[in-house]
Structure 1
Amino acid sequence: MARPTLLLLHGALGSPATLAPLGELLSADFTVKSFAFAGHGGAAVRPEAFTLPHFAEEVLGFLRAHETVPAHVFGYSMGGYAALLAARQEPARFASITTLGTKLDWSPESAAAETRFLDPEKMQAKVPAFVEALRQRHAPADWAEVVRATARLMEAAGAAPPLAAADFAAIAVPVQVLMGDGDLTPERGDASRLLAEQLPQLRYAVLPNTPHAIERADLADVASRIRHFALARS
């Protein structure tokens, strides 16, 4: 029997390469696929394409082009939000969705809290090793423009959240929401959980000793949770 598809969606400032170690852990059970969102992984940044609604449309476009049956999806951080937004539009294309570290609650205040870290000059001074990783990840595009575009995306989401509580309640797809207990991203905890609880087919779990950065998560545990949740719905 053919293995079910698992589509991996990277987070803000990421690329498919950032999820490759997780994909390797899941390759025995799934046909693992991925793609880079517009403006990531070396592609030129186009402001009109660097939005959550456009990323959701890219998810749907990929599934329409490559899948004939509903697919399982894992979305890290921003990728999880894009998956949920896509599922709100075409739920029949999704067998299940698992998110990790995805900010569900957007407001002007929470967007301001998120974007205060997204200043290329400050990043260059404070986290030069991370900046060098971004430079290599997004070459030949300008890593600083990816950062600025991400800040604009978050500001737009804060001003007009693409998903309201009623939208979460209308997502007719099994969704597993994973949050790390050490995820210190502002506004992430209770507000995101309240929105997650609107999902009609929800499994919610808090992962121990887990910060926001997926590179520092227990990938074996994350893979196990994705595997069990998805295969139970294949």
Structure 2
Amino acid sequence: MKPTLLLLHGALGSPATLEPLAELLAADFTVKTFAFAGHGGREVHPETFALPQFAQEVLAFLQAHETGPAHVFGYSMGGYAALLAARQEPARFAGITTLGTKLDWSPESAAAETRFLDPEKMQAKVPAFAEQLRQRHAPADWTAVVRATASLMTAAGAQPPLAAADFAALHVPVQVLMGDGDLTPERGDASRQLAEQLPQMQYAVLPNTPHPIERVNIPDLANRIRTFAWAHS
């Protein structure tokens, strides 16, 4: 029987953004995924659109579908939700791989992250991306998803769900991957310092890799996830 691998999408994303990765891993894992509240067509509600709520969704999914520890991959926001969930119930996780996950939250870094999250500006400057978001989140209002994401980041900056002590107490194998071309502000050194608090951490910088999942070398990412999961099965 193949082990389970749960794939978690990032902010403004949906399970569809992870389909190319899922296809490459399907031969070795029973690949599962779901859309976080307010994503992929799910209606946006401010009270459920928050990192602690997303972590609860991860735990609820594992409780409903798995009897033993599962392997998890989280892209960007999905990686943070996985770590937050594992801090609460580590026994449900065989191992976690994150890619492009911002670990260091502060009011300043949140402000830097959210300055581009303006639907009107997005429509004017990147209309193709705005249309992509409209299609990805239909029938829900994509502009509501963008505004809720900005609120989520502001809340995380004001009160980070995971502190340094939480990382140090997280006894789950974690592979932290960052792209060398990831230009998201303040992602690098501060996030690595927090990652180094993890007791069972493996860190790697992916060459020629920006933040968008669509521009990541998916075969290389799949191989890294596969190798890490096999090492912790």
Sort the TM-score into its range (normalised by shorter chain).
over 0.9
Alignment TM-score, normalising by the size of structure 1 = 0.99
Matched residues in 2 for 1:99 and 1:70: separation? 17
Letter of the 1:80 partner, please give it. Answer: G
TM-aligned CA deviation for residue 232 of structure 1: 1.2
Q: How does 1:1-234 map to 2 (within 5 A)?
A: 2-234=1-233
TM-aligned CA deviation for residue 204 of structure 1: 0.1
Q: Structure 1: which 4+ aligned runs deviate by more than 3 Å?
A: none
Tell me the percent identity: 83
Matched residues in 2 for 1:171 and 1:156: separation? 22
Across the two proteins, how many residue pairs are aligned to each other? 233
Letter of the 1:31 partner, please give it. Answer: T
SS at structure 1 position matched to 2:31: strand
Q: Which runs of 5+ in 1 are unaligned?
A: none
SS at structure 1 position matched to 2:95: strand
Matched residues in 1 for 2:125 and 2:192: separation? 32
Matched residues in 2 for 1:95 and 1:218: separation? 24
Matched residues in 1 for 2:129 and 2:22: separation? 22
RMSD across aligned C-alpha pairs, in angstroms? 0.3
TM-aligned CA deviation for residue 216 of structure 1: 0.2
SS at structure 1 position matched to 2:72: strand
Alignment TM-score, normalising by the size of structure 2 = 1.00
Letter of the 1:219 partner, please give it. Answer: I
CA-to-aligned-CA distance 1:49-104 (integer Å, 9 cap, x gap): 00000000000000000000100000000000000000000000000000000000
